[in-house]
Chains A and B, each alone.
Chain A
Amino acid sequence: MAEEKGAKALGNAKKMTIICTKGSLDWAYPPFILATTAAAMDVDVTMFFTFYGLQLLQKDLKLKVTPLGNPAMSMPMGGMHMVMPNVVGMIPGVTDLASVMMKNLIKKKGVASIEELREAATLSDVRMIGCQMTLDLFELDKSDMIDEIEIGGAATWMESALESDINLYM
């Protein structure tokens, strides 16, 4: 292993925080893509997971995507695009079907899975904070979450945010 160099090792890295509030498959991508890419570019990254975003820290991810309330969801199919009307999205099983379709598409196009990106984040020392209030609110157990996280609250994020160059809310 070559010696660690770059801004991070020198202690003058730029800093970024991301607040992750959504727990669906599609919304899981932007925070993890930006966090891992920023870390690869020597940025010191903190992610704060609150409300539904806390689901992204579960050991066993069962992420889904729904066409309900999303008129922009247009899936490629046989050279065409398929848009699901909202009323179809309400039918039981359609969320599972859309989720399977999305995961197949992700695999086919060489896009990373959320599990892969999350592992890349932990390996590149992205700091992940789970929201204590959300754990209490939804009666979730820290033991169901991946080991690499810490638990904190708004002030924990705030301390990081105050010294960061970029703060994003997703």
Chain B
Amino acid sequence: MADEVLDAKGLNCPLPILKAKKALTGLENGKILEVLSTDPGSVADFQAFCRATGNELVEHNIDGEIYRFLIKRVA
């Protein structure tokens, strides 16, 4: 479903956000980035990031200790 996957597991704040922004910038509009993270803080942070930048958080869930975010590039 995702057009690109970013493995941010093991990274702490603010690296998952910085790497996600970089990956999104390389994507065409409407494409979807999947981010995998182990940072519990990334749950609140990716929601805030998407609200502030206008990118769409299509889905986020937890699989064991891994947080998974699907972000559609809009902005």
Which residues of A are in contact with B by a Cβ distance under 8 Å? Answer: 1-2, 4-7, 33, 36-37, 40-42, 109-112, 116-117, 120, 124
Contact = CB atoms under 8 A, between A and B. Distances in A.
Contacts, number: 54
Interface of B: 10-15, 17-18, 20-21, 25-29, 39, 49, 52-54, 73, 75
Given A40-B18, A41-B52, A110 B12 contact: yes
Interface majority SS (helix, strand, loop, mixed), chain B: loop
B8 to A, nearest CB: 9
B26 A111 contact: no
Given A36-B14, A117-B14, 10 more contacts: A2-B27, A2-B29, A5-B75, A37-B17, A37-B18, A41-B53, A42-B75, A111-B12, A111-B15, A120-B18
A42 B49 CA distance: 10
